[in-house]
Chains A and B, each alone.
Chain A
Amino acid sequence: MKLLIIEDEASIMDRLCRLVRNILGDSLQSLETATTLPEARKQLDQAQFDVLMLDLNLNGQDGFELLKKLSSRAFHTIVVSAYTQRAIEAYDLGVIDFIPKPFDEERIKQSFKRILGSDTQRSHFAKFLAVRNHGRIELVPIQDIEYIQADGPCSLIAQKDGSLRSHDKMLKDLHQLLPPQFDRVHKSYLANLESISGLYNGGNHKHTLTFPSGRDIPLSRSKAKELRNKLES
């Protein structure tokens, strides 16, 4: 795992580094740090990361605008902050976890368990996915999403209006941020079950899900059965 930590207080930075090293051990491939925004931007441009740990109150500036930009990137973002009242806002934008200060090793371990998939217990989900559109960041409300399709290391977000938007995150990473109505119906597709218009059983065990925009996506066999039961009940 490649990690970047952005925190302006030296003792807290030291703590994060120490605890992360304890938790990840050898699976930590690289750990980079930044204490200011310019430093962070440099790091983000130069290298690839899997996870970012971010303090929202860097040098007195409100981190939410930065957060919108960061949540459009390929890596997961963990917010570590004293601003506990804004946790829900952060989740809405699509962070994988919000760790309130003060924190201990257990709490950070829990966060990484979420990222690695062994802890699927979540109560807060993203309400928006941040996509980059001609240099600007657009927040796509999740109720406007029909399905998400894998596209190499990235994803394509299919909206109700028929558009397809690219997102830097992998499908499995997006799945971790989205609420239960988003189901991994196929190895390459995440469907918003609240947006489907129909389920078709084609010949040759080819099952498809159809959407109001007219598009359809393939369903795995096991998923098709599961969904049919769910929908019939």
Chain B
Amino acid sequence: MRLSRLLHLIPLALLLVSADSLHALDPNLGFDRIEIFERSPDTGDIIPASKHVIEHDYPFATNLKLVPLLPRHFEIRLPLSLKNDLTSSKSDVISLYLGATFELYFDQQLIGTNGILSPTGQEIEVGRSYNSFALPKVDSPQTKHTLRIRGTHTHTADKHNFIIVLNSLEGSLSATRTTTITYCLFLGFALFGVYLLAYFLLNRKLPQYLFLGLSCLLFSLYAVNKLFYYQLNVEYPNLDTIALIANFSNIALSTCAPIATLLVFGYRRPWMFLLSLAPLVASFTPIPLYIVPRTFLLCLGISLVALFQKRPHAFYSTLICSLLVASYQVPFLVNNQAYSFGVLMVFFLVSTINLLIQESRQRNQTQLRNARLQLELLKSKIQPHFVLNSLTSAIEWIETNPQQGVKLIQELAKEFDLLSAISEQALIPFETELESCRTYLRIMEYRKKARYELKLINVNEQAELPPAILRNLLENALSHNAYGQGHIVFQLRETASKRQRQFEFSAPYLGSETTPPPDGTGIKYIKARLAESYPNWSFEHGPQDTRWVTKIQLPK
């Protein structure tokens, strides 16, 4: 978790650093109020009695509802005054998100048009949805100026707003850069949403991934839509279509996001899912928030409840939802949504990494489980052969030398007892393993009518090891070499370093191979047992002079 803590700090730092530099991009001129007039459709002149004044706090931009405020034939006047010292000769830019056909005047000078108006102000050629114009440089701080927007629109429904933004040239370019970055971040959201959806399709058990994925996709669709709405330069009546698409994705998001939040926290009661309709229902009430921030507010509410109930992921969800709500309500963040979404992307990155770590852990668990099952399987394959051959030998000894036969059966009983006790555990004290091996060798002595000796060098009998490793090595040696009825010496040497233990087992080798053959059942068993108990280990074996040497390295 240390890495994620660090990642959380970076965006905060960015926010603090950049807060300082913003003022440098402010334009020279600003406006304190907006005057809106109706124009006569016949003459095109303003009707003075229709003057509507809107006082304004923020001098550089305004965002107002179009249909109730702007008459069909209108003129907007912005009295401009100097807001900054005229220290540099930077020029100002006016950006107009105004779905109308208009002419722009700076004092008496026509500085730009959007579409074509007739002399009486009728719409001849339809204007586009977005325009930017350079304002003339201001020479002296004393003079007063007025911006006049003389235009016509054909909107009837209260769907759209109009936005007027005054910015310095650098500020305008900076805003464009921010928008581009925001586009990229939303693309990131979309990709994350696709990843979550793919994860759901592979793991149908977790519906929260379906809704989280859909929410991310819809959110990016909504956000891209919104950006398109303000960035795409279309003939202004087409704004209706863009708004319609945005509305559909808004409504879908307003239901998906709360459902996703509920599912992430494990709330599954049917009545809870009805909550997801709340943001949509609230659209028909006078509650002033738009549907998207309303949705995030609902998600925040659900997260807070989950936090109170101490459900997992509640803290992160609350943080994310707070950030989302703040990005729509807190003025600084509203104007710089790129920052909040940047922080969000970092959060999502961290959670993706967490998800990958979890998946990797799960895969390891499955592998371990498989190793365990393999082990069980191998055990069941190994045992019958040993049992049946030993019993055959026991019958022979009983019939020819009953005393010895009884002794063999007693050794067998001991061995089976030991085997069943130790096979369930992952690690046993080595002295137990040694007892089992010595019993095994005595049994094999009866079976093969030979003499077997196990020499130990430096072996720590108190330390723990997985069961049956030495036994399997002995079994391998005895089954692959035709030792006959001689005296055979097996050797086990242990060397310990600071962090590792090394075991070296050797047995006489009667074959002629120079390299080890493919792993048989015994070696597979040993490797499965090692993998079960140790994160890192090594196993190698091969001929060395007249002996076959096996080296096993384990952590301490």
Contacts and interface: CB of A to CB of B under 8 A. Distances in A.
Interface stretch (A7-15, A118-126, A180-188): A7-15
B447 A12 contact: yes
Interface string B443-473: 0001111100000000000000000000000
B388 A101 contact: yes
Which bracket fits the contact residues of B?
20 to 34
Contact of A8 (B384, B393, B397, B482): B482
Contact of B392 (A15, A18, A60, A84): A15
Contacts of A104: 395
Contacts of B396: 11-12, 14-15, 18
B447 A9 contact: yes
A11 B480 contact: no
A37 to B, nearest CB: 9
Interface string B522-537: 0000000000000000
B476 A60 contact: yes
B482 A60 contact: no
A103 B392 contact: yes
Contacts of A18: 396, 400
A11 B392 CA distance: 9
15 contacts: A10-B449, A11-B396, A11-B447, A12-B393, A15-B393, A15-B396, A15-B399, A59-B482, A60-B479, A82-B392, A83-B385, A101-B391, A102-B391, A102-B392, A102-B394
Interface string A5-39: 00011111011001000000000000000011000
Contacts of B391: 101-102
A57 interface: yes
B485 interface: yes
Interface string A95-120: 00000111110000000000000000
Contacts of B479: 57, 59-60
A57 B482 contact: no
Given A15-B395, A100-B388, A102-B391, A10 B447 contact: yes
A10 B482 contact: no
Given A35-B484, A60-B479, A82 B393 contact: no
B389 A101 contact: yes
Contact of A11 (B385, B393, B476, B484): B393
A56 to B, nearest CB: 10
Nearest to B393: A11
A59 B396 CA distance: 21
Contacts of B385: 57, 82-83
Contacts of B482: 8, 35-36, 59
Given A11-B397, A11-B447, A12-B393, A59 B388 contact: no
B442 to A, nearest CB: 13
Shortest beta-carbon contacts, A-B, top 5: A82-B388, A10-B449, A102-B392, A60-B479, A15-B396
B480 A10 contact: no
Interface of B: 384-385, 388-389, 391-397, 399-400, 446-450, 476, 479-482, 484-485, 520
Contacts of A83: 385
A192 to B, nearest CB: 37
Contacts of B446: 11
Given A15-B396, A35-B482, A83-B385, 19 more contacts: A8-B482, A9-B393, A10-B447, A10-B449, A11-B396, A11-B447, A11-B449, A12-B389, A15-B393, A35-B484, A57-B479, A59-B480, A59-B481, A60-B476, A60-B479, A82-B385, A84-B388, A102-B392, A102-B394
Interface in A111-147: none
A12 B392 contact: yes
Nearest to A85: B384
B28 to A, nearest CB: 93
A58 to B, nearest CB: 9
A82 B389 contact: yes
Interface string A56-81: 01011000000000000000000000
A176 B476 CA distance: 38
Interface in A36-66: 36, 57, 59-60
A9 B481 contact: no
Contacts of A100: 388
A128 to B, nearest CB: 26
A84 B384 CA distance: 9
Contacts of B389: 9, 12, 82, 101
Contacts of B476: 60
B450 A10 contact: yes
A83 B384 CA distance: 8
B87 to A, nearest CB: 93
Given A9-B447, A10-B450, A83-B385, A101 B392 contact: yes
B509 to A, nearest CB: 13
Nearest to B448: A10
Contacts of A101: 388-389, 391-392
Nearest to A105: B399
Interface string A189-209: 000000000000000000000
Contacts of A59: 479-482
A18 B479 CA distance: 24
A50 to B, nearest CB: 24
A10 B395 contact: no
